Homo-oligomer: A and B are copies of this chain.
Amino acid sequence: MKELEERIRQDGTVKPGNVLKVDAFLNHQCDVSLFDQMGAAWAEHFAGKRITKILTIEASGIGIACMAARHFGNVPVVFAKKAQSINLDGDQYTTTVYSFTKQKEFPVIVSKKYLEAGDRVLLIDDFLANGKALRGLIALCEAAGASVEGIGIAVEKGFQGGGDKLREEGYDVDSLAIVESMDPETGRIEFR
**Is the pair B76, A31 in contact by a Cβ cutoff of 8 Å?**
yes
Copies of the protein in its oligomer:
2
Option from B86, B102, B113 in Cβ contact (under 8 Å) with A103: B86
Q: Which residues of B are found within 8 Å of A102, using beta-carbon distances?
A: 83, 85-86
Question: Given the known A-B contacts A29-B114, A66-B35, A67-B66, are A86 and B74 also in contact in the complex, defined by CB atoms under 8 Å?
Answer: no
Instruction: Give chain A's interface secondary structure class.
Output: mixed
| Closest CB in chain B relative to A70 CB, distance in Å | 6
Alpha-carbon separation in the docked complex, A76 to B113 (Å):
33
Say yes or no: A77-B27 contact (C-beta < 8 A), given A62-B59, A66-B63: no
B-contacting residues, A101-122, CB 8 Å: 101-103, 110-111, 113-114
A82 to B17, CA, bound (A): 23
Once bound together, how far apart are the Cα atoms of A114 and B31, in whole Å?
12
**From B63, B78, B83, B114, contact of A65 by CB (8 A):** B63
Report if A167 contacts B (CB, 8 A).
no
Residues of the B chain whose Cβ atoms lie less than 8 Å from the Cβ of A21:
87
Complex interface: chain B residues within 8 A of A86 (CB): 17, 19, 101-103
Chain A residues at the B interface, C-beta cutoff of 8 Å? 17, 19, 21, 23-24, 27-33, 35-36, 58-59, 62-63, 65-67, 69-70, 74, 76-79, 81-83, 85-88, 101-103, 110-111, 113-114
